[in-house]
């Protein structure tokens, strides 16, 4: 009897073993099938992606009024990419593989999820809609970037307008330039409504409620979750923003010899959208503009590269300088270019480019360091451990955060002294310097996390009627920024559309708000735990340890969980605390300055 029991046990064990071996063999076969699919997909995708990037590059760097070749090339390249990424075969295979994701490698699952996310923007089942959307996006971009801005019937660039808003004390001149900057929106309003409808219908084919929800899903979040996070950010900085708003109302009224307004007229602020007020303050002893005025634009770009190299990053490839469009066009150029600074990973390999119009100013000095942050992020995750499909930031906000980290680091006194841009003995008013930084970083959040995020949520998720675009925009600007238009802005205008991102980087502006929070988390960690320096006075230059820390964030690309990566990097989840700690000394100063003044923003939102 014992022998029979033993024999049965052996048979059962042998059978189980065979079943386990068979299961293991099946899993390995599945993984091999998935890898073959991924390899084939990647080969075709990267070629089509490069074709699309080349067409987009040409359209952004050489804009000729009346020329239709760029539009044709973009349409052709983007339709080919869309047809492939959104093909029914790709979608069905990807979904089938993901049904067995527990048996796949995590890297494979991440790539499959990326493929399905891309497919949702271009599903073959609504191919006519996709083609229509691509054509509409091209037309919107041409209308935006080819627009002839005019002041008093004379053509001006957006750079000219920005300079007036930063520097002019003539309120009439400011108003003329501010109004000129919004004229472009009139011709974009119908296109924006059309794009909203096309984008919503396109992603709806794969089950997304709307385009805003689709874009938020890239974070692994629900729409309401993102809205709640953005609202939380604004609430956390609101007490400091309220102080800055009160201070600015009184200081600007004094500057323009006017009655103190309850809400700030938009043309009083030094930015077309009121998102950056930093040029309201000049910091004695920290005049980067003066140090740069005799420098060549090429020097500024090389200086940025030298910073990254000092941390242990590699030199930029020669092709970067050969293929990028880094400087303003000559005055007699018979074409235009997009002047919005950007970084491009053309082929998801080593064709790295930047589009800028660098001039020897403090603003462009910071911009160069920021844009090169994107370029070095591309370079870092272009490695064999990160497949091309995962060569992007841990989330979209990470990419911007890295750029901002370097922009902040390059603007602090010890760094500038070390680079020979200011004198070591220069007396710097630290409170004014902190105020200037707050007028850049804190004032941005009510705009980015508030106005832009809420407007695009209303536009896409709530189907905001076209007849209410401008009304909604200014309602949000008043609520979050405490800013009002200087003149009547009826529905013949579409002031939201004067912002590039509303048109061609849609439903993603919260990326920048996320990046500002991450910026201070990264900077706080670097200053306190690596450099052992005051976060207000750091010098990253030459620190290989800082380079090692940053490379650890950059080199994995999107082959990670962004929340886990953040926890591993800085020891905490996403939090505004480091930002609030950084600006805490300013609250005392502002409360003293605002004694006896009337606050017009509510205590809390």
Query: Is 19's pLDDT higher than 80?
Result: no
Residue 578 lies in a domain: no
Residue 541 has pLDDT above 60, yes or no: yes
Tell me the percentage of the chain whose pLDDT exceeds 90.
91
Give residue 302's Cα distance to chain centre.
23
d(CA 281, CA 206): 49
Of the given ranges (8-12, 104-108, 113-117, 342-346), which has the lowest mean pLDDT?
A: 8-12
Average pLDDT over residues 277-281: 95
Decide if pLDDT at 108 tops 60. yes
Residue 552: the pLDDT is 97
Categorize the per-residue pLDDT at 26 as very low, low, confident or very high, splitting at 50, 70 and 90: confident
Which residues form the domain of 120?
27-142
pLDDT of residue 5: 57
Residue 508 falls within a domain, yes or no?
no
Compute CA distances 479 → 71, 455, 565, 601, whole Å.
39, 12, 35, 8
- pLDDT score, position 21: 62
pTM of the model: 0.92
When pLDDT is averaged across residues 84-111 and rounded to a whole number, the result is: 97
Instruction: State the CB neighbour count (10 A cutoff) for residue 167.
Output: 11
Residue-wise pLDDT for 120-167, tens only, equals 999 999 999 999 999 999 999 999 988 999 999 999 999 899 999 999
Quickly count: other Cβ atoms within 10 Å of residue 520's Cβ.
24
pLDDT of 24 over the 80 cut: no
- Give me the pLDDT at residue 66, please: 87
Residue 223 domain flag: no
Of 22-26, 76-80, 297-301, 429-433, where does mean pLDDT reach its minimum?
22-26
Tell me the pLDDT band of 12, cut-offs 50, 70 and 90.
low
Q: What is the pLDDT of residues 489-512, one digit of tens each?
A: 999 999 999 999 999 999 999 999
Residue 123 lies in a domain: yes
Q: Is residue 128 part of a domain?
A: yes
SS3 annotation, 64-118 = CCCCCHHHHHHHHHHHHHHHHHCCHHHHHHHHHHHCCHHHCCHHHHHHHHHHHHH
Please indicate whether residue 376 or residue 19 has the higher confidence score (pLDDT).
376
pLDDT at residue 22 tops 80: no
> Stretch 268-274: mean pLDDT, rounded?
98
Q: What is the pLDDT of residue 250?
A: 98
Q: What is the largest distance, in Å, between two alpha-carbon atoms of the chain?
A: 108
d(CA 41, CA 17): 36
Band (25; pLDDT cuts 50, 70, 90)? confident
Residue 195, Cα to own-chain centre: how many angstroms?
20
Q: How many domains does the chain have?
A: 1
Q: How far apart are CA 529 and CA 523, in angstroms?
A: 10
Please, which pLDDT band fits residue 532 given cuts at 50, 70 and 90? very high
Predicted confidence at residue 193, as pLDDT, reads 98
pLDDT at 299 over 80: yes
Answer for the pair 446, 481: CB distance below 8 angstroms, yes or no. yes
CB atoms within 10 A of CB 319: 13
Residue 340 is predicted with a pLDDT of 86
Q: Does 68 map to a domain?
A: yes
Q: What sign has the CA pseudo-torsion 416, 421, 427, 429?
A: negative
Output the pLDDT for position 18: 57
Kindly report the backbone phi and psi dihedral angles of residue 492, in degrees, each rounded to the nearest multiple of 5, phi listed first: -70, -15
* Residue in 514, 520, 513 with CA at minimum distance from that of residue 581: 520
Residue 114 lies in a domain: yes
Summarize the confidence of residues 296-308 as an average pLDDT: 97
Q: What integer pLDDT is reported at residue 549 of this predicted model?
A: 98
Sign of torsion over alpha carbons 483, 484, 490, 495: negative
Q: Is residue 225 part of a domain?
A: no
């Amino acid at each position: 009897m014992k022998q029979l029991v033993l024999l049965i046990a052996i048979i059962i064990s042998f059978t189980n073993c065979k079943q386990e071996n068979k299961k293991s063999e099946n899993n390995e076969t599945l993984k091999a099938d998935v890898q073959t699919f991924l390899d084939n997909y990647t080969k075709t995708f990267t070629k089509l992606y490069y074709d699309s990037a080349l067409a987009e590059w040409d359209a952004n760097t050489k804009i000729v009024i009346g020329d239709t070749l760029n539009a044709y090339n973009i349409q052709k390249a983007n339709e080919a990419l869309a047809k492939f990424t959104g093909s029914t075969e790709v979608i069905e295979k990807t979904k089938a593989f993901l049904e067995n994701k527990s048996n796949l490698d995590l890297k494979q699952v991440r790539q499959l999820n990326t493929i399905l996310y891309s497919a949702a923007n271009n599903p073959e089942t609504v191919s006519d809609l996709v083609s229509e959307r691509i054509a509409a996006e091209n037309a919107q971009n041409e209308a935006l970037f080819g627009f002839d801005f005019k002041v008093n019937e004379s053509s001006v660039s957006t750079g000219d307008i920005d300079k007036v808003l930063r520097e002019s004390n003539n309120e009439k001149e400011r108003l003329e330039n501010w109004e000129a900057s919004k004229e472009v929106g009139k011709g974009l309003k119908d296109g924006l409504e059309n794009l909203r409808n096309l984008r919503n219908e396109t992603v709806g084919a794969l089950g997304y409620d709307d385009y805003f929800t689709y874009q938020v899903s890239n974070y692994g979040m629900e729409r309401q979750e993102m809205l709640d996070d953005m609202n939380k950010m604004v609430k956390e900085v609101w007490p400091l923003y309220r102080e800055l708003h009160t201070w600015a109302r009184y200081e600007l009224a004094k500057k323009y010899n006017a009655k103190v307004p309850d809400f700030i007229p938009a043309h009083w602020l030094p930015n077309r959208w009121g998102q950056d007020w930093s040029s309201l303050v000049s910091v004695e002893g920290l005049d980067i503009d003066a140090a740069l005025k005799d420098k060549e634009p090429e020097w500024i770009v090389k200086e940025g590269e030298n910073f990254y190299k000092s941390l242990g990053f590699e030199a930029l490839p020669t092709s970067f300088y050969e293929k990028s469009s880094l400087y303003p066009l000559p005055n007699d150029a018979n074409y235009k270019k997009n002047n919005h600074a950007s970084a491009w990973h053309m082929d998801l390999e080593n064709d790295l480019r930047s589009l800028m119009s660098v001039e020897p100013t403090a603003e462009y000095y910071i911009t160069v360091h920021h844009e090169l942050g994107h370029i070095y992020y591309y370079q870092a995750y272009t490695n064999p451990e990160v497949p091309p499909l995962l060569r992007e930031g841990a989330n979209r906000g990470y990419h911007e955060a890295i750029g901002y980290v370097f922009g902040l680091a390059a603007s602090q006194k010890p760094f500038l002294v070390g680079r020979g841009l200011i004198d070591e003995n220069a007396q710097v008013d630290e409170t004014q310097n902190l105020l200037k930084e707050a007028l850049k970083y804190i004032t941005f959040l009510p705009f980015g996390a508030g106005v832009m995020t809420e407007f695009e949520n209303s536009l896409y998720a709530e189907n905001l009627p076209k007849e209410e675009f401008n009304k909604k925009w200014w309602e949000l600007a008043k609520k979050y920024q405490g800013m009002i238009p200087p003149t009547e802005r009826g529905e013949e205008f579409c002031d939201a559309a004067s912002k590039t991102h509303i048109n061609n980087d849609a439903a993603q502006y919260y990326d920048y708000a996320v990046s500002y929070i991450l910026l201070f988390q990264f900077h706080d960690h670097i200053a306190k735990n690596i450099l052992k320096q005051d976060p207000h006075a750091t010098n990253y230059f030459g620190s290989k340890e800082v380079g090692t820390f940053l490379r650890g964030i950059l080199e994995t690309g999107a082959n990670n969980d962004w929340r886990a990566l953040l926890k591993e990097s800085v020891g905490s989840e996403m939090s505004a605390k480091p930002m609030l700690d950084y600006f805490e000394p300013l609250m005392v100063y502002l409360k003293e300055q605002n004694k006896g003044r009337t606050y017009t923003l509510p205590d809390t939102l």
